[in-house]
Amino acid sequence: MSKSPYNAIAEWDTLLQAVKETEGDLAGVVPFREALANARARAHMFKGLQDSLEASAGEATDRLRETVAVGEDAVVALRSFIRGVLGMRNEKLLRYGIKPRGKRRGPKRTLSPPPPVARKRAGGRSR
């Protein structure tokens, strides 16, 4: 017996065809053949349903992605509006999931130039 349902159905088709061709040689096979034929018909029906649902799921996934993209654009626009109303540094932005900018820094301090280094005379002698 095959583990894959698709292989099993193909196997059933082959077996049913062989039984139909030799039904006269197999006394009492009719109820078994009919049981397998019914299972095969139901399996084909569910396979068709599965294929249909997979196609529908693919379409639903595409629509969901499109909707999420539109929603993300709306989020960007709404957050921009909120920042415009409240300002970039307002702590109330946290309520809307927006990180406020940090406080302004003072002017940069410039360091005084380093003291001059004493130069050695050429020739390596000291006085």
| pLDDT, tens digit (0-9, with 9 covering 90-100), for 79-95 | 999 999 999 999 999 99
Q: Do 46 and 25 meet the contact criterion of CB atoms below 8 Å apart?
A: no
pLDDT of residue 100: 93
- State mean pLDDT over 99-111: 80
User: pLDDT tens digits, residue range 18-70?
Assistant: 999 998 889 999 999 999 999 999 999 999 999 999 999 999 999 999 999 99
pLDDT of residue 1: 54
Q: What is the pTM of this model?
A: 0.53
Please indicate whether residue 65 or residue 102 has the higher confidence score (pLDDT): 65
pLDDT band at 110 (very low <50, low <70, confident <90, very high): confident
pLDDT of residue 112: 77
pLDDT of 108 above 80: no
Interatomic CA distance for residues 119 and 96, integer angstroms: 62
pLDDT of residue 52: 95
pLDDT of 3 above 70: no
Distance of CA 79 to CAs 65, 76, 90, 105, Å? 21, 5, 13, 25
pLDDT of 127 above 60: no
By CB atoms closer than 10 A (0-12, 13-18, 19+), residue 9 is: middle
CA angle at 99 for the pair 93 and 103, rounded to the nearest 5°: 95
